[in-house]
Amino acid sequence: MSHVRRTGEETLKTLSKQLTEKYGKGFSKRNLEQMRYFYLTYATSITQTVSAQFTQESKNVLLNTPEQISQTLSDQFAAAEKPVQITPYQKEDLSTRFRLSYSHYLFLMKIDNPDERTFYEKEAVAGNWSLRELKRQFDTALFERLLISKNPAERKNLIRKGTTIENPKDIIKDPYVLEFLGLPEQTAYSETQLEQHIIDKLQTFLLELGTGYTFVARQMRLTLDEKHYYVDLVFYNRILQCFVLIDLKLGEITHQDIGQVQMYTHYFDRYKKLETENKTIGIILCKKKDDTLVELTLPEDEKHIFASKYQTILPDKKQLAQLIKETE
């Protein structure tokens, strides 16, 4: 085995030297190893893309006369004896299939789970994530967090298509990870300080919220019978076409907190949203929650009020994976 490995390394060194002499920089032994790993990881996608063009060409052959078919097939068999070359048309197809930078794929190739790797690739393309954003989403276990909140059918759909937003539940995460705020888990801070840290890191917070969010206001005042109430954070989701209200709670939520957010969403539905817009979504972002309390407080048909935990440290991916197995 060691002899085979040594022979393979010598071959790569020789090939690296030859390619560098002929084409210049970019063909170090390390780069060649990564290129080979890229092909092994995405060989199926590459083959399918190239094969699609060959299939189309074969279909075109069937539309020709017998003489044309004979000549075309002869050309193809002759070409088959030569080294395989990717045509400009196929290169264009490959660039459409692989839309991220090579650095993105070098990172994605380190993800062993093919379903998880495909998910992050789809999300990075859809969200136009930078490499830094991709790494953060992976470190915060976005894949596992979304799987936890979905049933088996929804999990299969998430793996196959990535994130799809069709109803309010699709935009909810539990927990939300706010490690970028720089607030250690045991540090004492007020709701006002938590809100200010979120505003200071608004761009990253929007990334954590998900797709389609725009910021509207903080501490938006609502006046009822000369009494003033303040919504901590107001966003708008362009995909669902609705306002999203976030109420911050440091401790465990109570039924009064849930009732308050219900009042906020009702106010927006009656006085803020347009007729063409959808019902307002309310999210209580809390440190702790009692799922039974939330379930019993909300009406059975309530689909627009949610309670999600937040944490200020990165989650343990192994624990989340174990939790997914338990729920399955």
Q: Tokens representing 116?
A: 């998880």
Q: Which of 256, 265, 279, 201 is nearest to 231 (CA)?
A: 265
pLDDT in tens, 222-266: 999 889 999 999 999 999 999 999 999 998 899 999 999 999 999
**Cβ-proximal residues to 248 (8 Å cutoff; 6+ apart), any chain:** 191, 194, 195, 198, 232, 233, 285, 286
Q: In 3D, which of 171, 160, 159 has the Cα closest to residue 211?
A: 171
Q: Which helix (H) or strand (E) holds 112?
A: none
Residue 131 is predicted with a pLDDT of 96
Which tokens sit at 237? 């989701």
Q: Please state the length of the chain.
A: 328
What are the tens digits of pLDDT across the range 305-318? 999 999 999 888 88
For residue 306, the 8-state DSSP code is: E
pLDDT tens-digit readout, 284-297:
999 999 999 999 99
Taking the C-alpha atoms of residue 204 and residue 133, their distance in angstroms, rounded to an integer, is 9
Tokens of 219: 């501490």
Structure tokens at 32: 């060649």
pLDDT digits (tens, 9 = 90+) for 29-79: 898 888 888 888 888 777 765 555 545 554 454 445 445 544 554 554 454
Per-residue pLDDT averaged across 171-196, rounded? 88
Provide the residue ranges of all domains of the chain, joining segments of one domain with +: 2-98, 172-315
Q: Which pLDDT belongs to residue 75? A: 56
Residue 218 bridge partners (DSSP): 233
* CATH topology assigned to domain 172-315: Trna Endonuclease; Chain: A, domain 1 (3.40.1350)
Q: What global pTM score does this model have?
A: 0.77
Q: Is the pLDDT of residue 155 over 90?
A: no
pLDDT at residue 92 in the model: 54
* CA 109 – CA 299 distance, rounded (Å): 45
Q: Residue written as tokens 């009692």?
A: 290
Which helix (H) or strand (E) segment is 287 a member of? strand 281-288
* Closest listed residue to residue 25, CA positions, set 16, 34, 12, 14: 16
Asked whether residue 1 carries a pLDDT value surpassing 60, the answer given is no
The four Cα atoms 302, 303, 309, 313 give a dihedral, to 10 degrees, of 180
For residue 75, give the nearest of 56, 61, 91 by alpha carbon: 61
Whether residue 152 has a cis bond before it, omega within 30° of 0 = no
At residue 156, does pLDDT exceed 70? yes
Q: What is the pLDDT of residue 73?
A: 45
For residue 80, pLDDT over 50 is answered with: no
| Helix pair 88-97, 29-62: axis angle to 10 deg | 110
